[in-house]
A and B are shown apart, each in its own frame.
Chain A
Amino acid sequence: MLHTVNKSPFQSSNLKNCSRYVKSGDALLLLEDGVYAAMQGTEQSGLIESLLSNGVSVYAISADLTMRAVSQPIEGVTAVDYAGFVDLVEEHPLHSWL
């Protein structure tokens, strides 16, 4: 399954809620304000780090990273463009955590 999260983890518990339903082998795409979860060294970085170590592939929309000046996402997070987003949707059924 592909999960998408579009809110900052400081603003919303969506990423935390999503983590309860995630399985190893799933993918997570951070978009819009969700990319703030990919910032290194924050109080919320552990959420993404934990998902990565549990076998979840984590992606972030590159346009959203650069718009927000998140230049060095957490290691293991893969930046993708919208074409990459489309490929992820093709590969997995999806659930958006709004």
Chain B
Amino acid sequence: MKLTIFVQEGPYNHQASDSAWQFIQAARAKGHEIVGVFFYHDGVLNATKDMDPPQDDRHIANRWDELGAEGVDIVICIAAAKRRGVIPENIVANTRISGLGQLAKMALNSDRVVTFGD
């Protein structure tokens, strides 16, 4: 299965980002392909570089950074990012800012689009 993962909420405030990440781990373990992860609305905050949560809890931005380093395309919507002050200088490595066209391309290239939000 080729999957697009669409994440509509930011880190910690909602469980969406966690559920998405857990789903992706399970899907990849089963050999499915993640065509891409697309962050929209407050989801653009998931890759914030200066995130500094308590040491004994998960570090959400680092999770996405590691996933990106494993070759998954992690895209932050530029329009939603600009609204919220997310710029290339303040996102973790292995993620990129790009347009909604990337979501269209991901969706066209996938068997399923799975949305995580509020």
Measured CB to CB, the residues of A under 8 A from B are 6-7, 31-33, 61, 63, 81-83, 85-86, 89-90, 93-94, 96, 98
Contact = CB atoms under 8 A, between A and B. Distances in A.
Given A90-B1, A94-B114, A96-B117, A32 B26 contact: no
Contact of B115 (A61, A63, A96): A96
Interface of B: 1, 3, 8, 15-16, 19, 22-23, 25-27, 29-30, 32, 112, 114-118
B37 to A, nearest CB: 15
A85 B117 contact: no
B36 to A, nearest CB: 16
Nearest to A82: B26
A82 B23 contact: yes
A96 B8 CA distance: 12
A15 to B, nearest CB: 15
A51 B31 CA distance: 32
Given A31-B19, A32-B15, A86 B117 contact: no
Given A32-B19, A90-B1, A85 B26 contact: yes
Nearest to B27: A86
B117 A98 contact: yes
A81 B25 CA distance: 12
Nearest to B21: A82
Given A96-B115, A98-B118, A86 B19 contact: no
22 contacts: A6-B16, A6-B19, A6-B117, A6-B118, A32-B16, A63-B22, A82-B22, A82-B25, A83-B29, A83-B30, A85-B23, A85-B26, A86-B23, A89-B1, A89-B112, A90-B32, A93-B112, A94-B112, A96-B114, A98-B115, A98-B117, A98-B118
